[in-house]
Amino acid sequence: MHTASPAAPIHVAAAVVRGEDQRVLVQCRPDHLDHGGLWEFPGGKIEPGESVADALVRELDEELGIRVRPGALRIRVPWDYGHRRVVLHVLDVNEWTGRPIGREGQAVDWLTPEAMAERAWPAANWPIIRSLQLPDRYLITPVEPADADAWLARLDAALARGVRLVQLRRPDLDVEAWVRLGRALRRRCDAHGAWLLANGPAEQARAVGADGVHWSSRVLAEGPQRPGWARWVGASCHNGDELERAAACGADFALLSPVQWTASHPEQSGMGWERFAAWVAGARLPVYALGGVGPADIHRARACGGQGVAAIRGLLAEAGRR
């Protein structure tokens, strides 16, 4: 249960330090500390007057003996442990020198994001792990097309260009047609090593071999239970309260929309990037921007603390230009 702590949060700088093989540097907290024996991303408390980058430079030198050049924001994670509140400000670090050693007696290791699930971590670290495992773009199927073969060819092109997360969203189809399309998508995702999520009943999602489900905002409002078999669960949100509900229900990530005006919802002006950033700052899970965005907006979404972008036409149109 997520409970509120009255104390002001402790702001912590944390780093995703990558080696040449793209594995990530992690360390084990000493047994005598809070969360002792658990693995974490290196970093430490931000001192008064310090920037996140300056705190990382100091902490990683003190803890690991390496000199780093902090990069872009990966994710910001607010977390309430009940007795203590923290906000983790996580930056990517791709440039560094030295040989990491545990200067405070802590064990260190290099892990792939996929191998991180085998270790025990403080709860606030799990959104960071998910952000490392998730791609920066999420393709949603359109409620179309008359020519299914032509659309599937465009999906193939999107997968060939690097899309690794696809949502089957076709509420217009009957069950038989939905399952048939789902199985066709499954085959294509398998061919490119992509994950497939289904926006529909969990039993139908499992029937097509989906990797998980995506909850609509309507389903999220009902307080859904996470399927035990699901590798991934996403949720559609439109404000900060829904982002918190998604985290409380066990979603791994969320979509926040609409960020900008879209032709599909012309009556909605969009929240804009400033409000997107404000709501994402309070979220306990990775968040994709949705609505009037495409690949060109990934950098901006990430600068706002987001995971990347989700799109229908934006990602299919990119594939169509190949």
Give tens-digit pLDDT for 36-90: 899 999 999 999 999 999 999 999 999 999 999 999 999 999 999 999 999 999 9
| Residue range 128-155: mean pLDDT, rounded | 88
Give residue 217's pLDDT: 97
Percent with pLDDT over 90 in the chain: 84
| Residue range 290-305: mean pLDDT, rounded | 96
pLDDT at residue 321 is higher than 60: no
Quickly state the pLDDT bin for 316 (edges 50, 70, 90): confident
pLDDT at residue 304 is higher than 60: yes
CA angle 232, 194, 252 (to 5 degrees): 20
d(CA 55, CA 70): 10
d(CA 231, CA 225): 14
What is the pTM (predicted TM-score) of this model?
0.93
| 235 in Cβ contact with 251 (< 8 Å) | yes
For the CA atoms of 153, 179, 209, 161, what is the dihedral angle to 10 degrees? Answer: 20
| Residue range 134-158: mean pLDDT, rounded | 86
Please report which helix (H) or strand (E) contains residue 278, including its range.
Answer: helix 272-281
Count of CB atoms situated within 10 Å of the CB of 308: 23
β-strands 165-168, 232-237 pairing: unpaired
| Residue range 174-182: mean pLDDT, rounded | 94
Give residue 155's pLDDT: 92
Give residue 318's pLDDT: 63
| 66 in Cβ contact with 99 (< 8 Å) | yes
d(CA 197, CA 114): 18
| 298 in Cβ contact with 322 (< 8 Å) | no
1-10, 39-48, 92-101, 188-197: range with lowest mean pLDDT: 1-10
284 or 149, higher pLDDT: 284
Percent with pLDDT over 70 in the chain: 93
Ranges assigned E (strand) in the chain: 10-17, 24-28, 39-40, 43-45, 67-69, 73-80, 85-93, 95-97, 108-111, 137-140, 165-168, 195-198, 212-215, 232-237, 253-256, 287-290, 308-311
Q: Which phi and psi (to 5°) does residue 253 adopt? A: -160, 170
Burial 65-101 (b: 16+ CB within 10 A, else e): ebebebbebbbbbbbbeeeebbbbbbbbbeebeeebe
pLDDT at residue 149 is higher than 90: no
Ramachandran sector of residue 291 (left: φ over 0; alpha: ψ -120 to 50; beta: rest): left
Indicate the domain borders of the chain.
Answer: 10-122, 137-320
Count of CB atoms situated within 10 Å of the CB of 33: 11
> What CATH class has 10-122?
alpha beta
Angstrom distances, CA of residue 1 to CA of 77, 80, 231, 246: 17, 10, 22, 13
Are the folds of 10-122 and 137-320 the same?
A: no
Give residue 48's pLDDT: 96
Q: What is the CATH number of domain 137-320?
A: 3.20.20.70
pLDDT at residue 322 is higher than 50: no
| 166 in Cβ contact with 141 (< 8 Å) | yes
Could you report the per-residue pLDDT of 252-291, keeping only the tens digit for each? 999 999 999 776 666 667 999 999 999 999 999 999 999 9
268 or 161, higher pLDDT: 161
DSSP state of 30: P
